[in-house]
């Protein structure tokens, strides 16, 4: 039944994905576009194959997490650019796990770029583009009722479980998982991972050369964005087909 669901009207269009309704209120279709944005969408460009690569990359990572017992909204690939996902009531927070100091952490705290963080740092940010996604803490979350204390504890636990699973996965492929963001939502009463896990939402460095292998290549005009995304996928063993290998719906 799930495989036969057809794409309905557009529900929401974000920076790099468009979400569509289906005939079943419990499921949505997530369409990965070829758009790349940075600095709160002040910098924009389109790259051929980006949506395809991210769609397959996310499917692979979500599958690995599900195999380890972590619940996610991902259901199945539908086409090169589309996946079927559960419709979650999203919590308006980003959970960011940092294994190595870089980016905003260095700017905010003045710590050394490349400093290994042990134990890893977990931070919460409010999802609000108009405010620049500000950092918030447990007290903010509790007072403004963005999530319950139990949900906060679950998000922290799952975020760190994801880290324990993915850090060795990347390291075994010759890469360092520097940091990443996760988003969560409720499917009924069940808390689970939503959104995506792709090089758009994490930082990855080559373990030997420290070459940046994520969206920092776009942010910092380093070039070869899609070629590098595909290199990351190849190292992890993710099979990225040509765009004609599946028929887009």
pLDDT tens, residue by residue, 28-83: 999 999 999 988 778 999 999 999 999 999 999 999 999 999 999 999 999 999 99
Residues with pLDDT less than 70, the chain:
1-3, 243-249
Q: What are phi and psi of 216, to 5 degrees?
A: -60, -25
Query: Hey, CA dihedral for 106, 110, 113, 118, is it positive or negative?
Result: negative
- 205: its two tokens: 């460095």
Instruction: Name the H helices within 68-192.
Output: 104-109, 138-144, 149-171
Please name which of 72, 42, 40, 36 lies closest in space to residue 159, comparing C-alpha atoms: 72
**Whole-angstrom Cα distance, residue 65 to residue 182?**
12
- Dihedrals φ, ψ of 81, to 5°? -115, 0
DSSP output for 84-106: EEE--EEEEEEEEEEEE--THHH
Q: Does pTM surpass 0.75?
A: yes
Residue for token digits 């090169």? 80
State how far the Cα of 162 lies from the Cα of 70, in Å rounded to an integer: 8
Instruction: Convert the pLDDT of each residue in 233-248 to its tens digit.
Output: 999 999 998 733 333 4
Residue 39: Cβ within 10 Å count: 9
Show the tokens assigned to 88.
Answer: 């979650």
Query: What pLDDT was estimated at residue 166?
Result: 98
Q: How far is CA 12 from CA 8, 9, 17, 26, 176, in A?
A: 12, 9, 9, 16, 33
* pLDDT for res 2: 55
Report d(CA 98, CA 49) in Å as an integer.
Answer: 28
């Amino acid at each position: 039944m799930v495989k036969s669901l057809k794409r309905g009207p557009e529900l929401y269009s974000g920076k790099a994905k468009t979400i569509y309704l289906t005939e079943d209120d419990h499921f949505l279709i997530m369409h990965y576009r070829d758009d790349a944005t940075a600095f709160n969408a002040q910098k924009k460009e389109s790259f051929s194959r980006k949506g395809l690569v991210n769609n397959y990359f996310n499917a692979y990572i979500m599958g690995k997490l599900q195999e380890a017992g972590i619940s996610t909204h991902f259901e199945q690939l539908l086409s090169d650019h589309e996946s079927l996902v559960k419709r979650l009531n999203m919590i308006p927070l980003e959970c960011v796990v940092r294994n190595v100091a870089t980016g905003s952490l260095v700017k905010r705290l003045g710590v050394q770029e490349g400093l290994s963080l042990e134990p890893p740092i977990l931070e919460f940010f409010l999802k609000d583009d108009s405010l620049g996604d500000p950092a918030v803490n447990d007290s903010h979350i509790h007072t403004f009722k963005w999530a319950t204390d139990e949900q906060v504890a679950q998000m922290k636990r799952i975020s760190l479980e994801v880290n324990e699973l993915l850090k060795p996965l990347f390291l075994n492929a010759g890469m360092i998982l520097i940091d990443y963001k996760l988003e969560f939502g409720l499917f009924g009463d069940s808390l689970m991972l939503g959104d995506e896990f792709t090089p758009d939402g994490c930082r990855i460095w080559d373990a030997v050369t420290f070459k940046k292998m994520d969206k920092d290549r776009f942010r910092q005009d380093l070039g070869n964005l899609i070629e590098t995304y595909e290199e990351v996928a190849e190292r992890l063993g993710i099979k990225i087909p040509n765009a004609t290998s599946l028929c887009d719906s």
